[in-house]
Amino acid sequence: FLKAGDNVVICSRSAERVESVRNDLKKEFGEQHVWGTVCDVREGKDVKALVDFARDKLEYIDIWINNAGSNAYSYKPLVETSDEALIEVITTNTLGLMLCCREAINMMWNQPRGGHIFNIDGAGSDGRPTPRFAAYGATKRSVVHLTKSLQAELQMNEVNNVVVHNLSPGMVTTDLLMSGATTKQAKFFINILAETPDVVADYLVPNIREIPTNQSMKPTYIRFLTGLKAYSRIFSVRTL
């Protein structure tokens, strides 16, 4: 987004991480284009404060991306998963998403140009099983349902200036993904299907930006790793 000339607000639970990332981005894109603040998406007051911070810095928010997610860095059967890990996953991925959607919709509803909200899916969102991270998969399955329900609510309330979309980055080589690469099968799929964040962003960002640019108010599901692309990669490797 910064490469395209947009102004961006970033957030994290960690003040140190926000400051570190913001300093790196400022060096490349300038202080006047990127701002950062601390926000725990599991806390309603934090999300409200994030909205206020973003409006103060940007005036208008055209695009809001809900990409906070956690599996508590835990890959084990549900029966072995601690209460703390389950609470971390569910409050971050489900409660946090709901709080962010609520505040983003309220904010965009009240700005004349409206806006677009993008909810990021993950493993399990298509209904396939996610053994060893069942709680994570269950929360990601709920992302698609929540998006559809919010789309229906906005239509029911005749809100025409706010749209909620789904965004699918596929397998991205983040710490979250790599922490689960402990089996031969997991390593195989990561080696074949995973991409670095910059490759995924180079595809997703233009597709996201063209929606408000074209003034489209139609819900979309933007996918980086489609089923056809995944199967073609897998079978290409197996036939070599």
- Domains of the chain plus CATH, in order, are 39-238 (3.40.50.720)
d(CA 87, CA 113): 37
| Active site residues per annotation | 136
Task: Please tell me what DSSP assigns to residue 93.
Answer: I
Burial class, 183, CB count within 10 angstroms (exposed 0-12 / middle 13-18 / buried 19+): exposed
Token pair of 208 as six digits: 């996201």
Q: What is the pLDDT along the chain (240 residues), one digit of tens a residue?
A: 999 999 999 999 999 999 999 999 999 998 889 999 999 999 999 999 999 999 999 989 999 999 999 988 878 999 999 999 999 999 999 999 999 999 999 999 999 999 999 999 999 999 999 999 999 999 999 999 999 999 999 999 999 999 999 999 887 665 555 555 555 555 544 555 567 888 899 999 999 999 999 999 999 999 986 555 554 544 555 544
pLDDT of 231: 45
No. of helices (H) and no. of strands (E), the chain: 9, 6
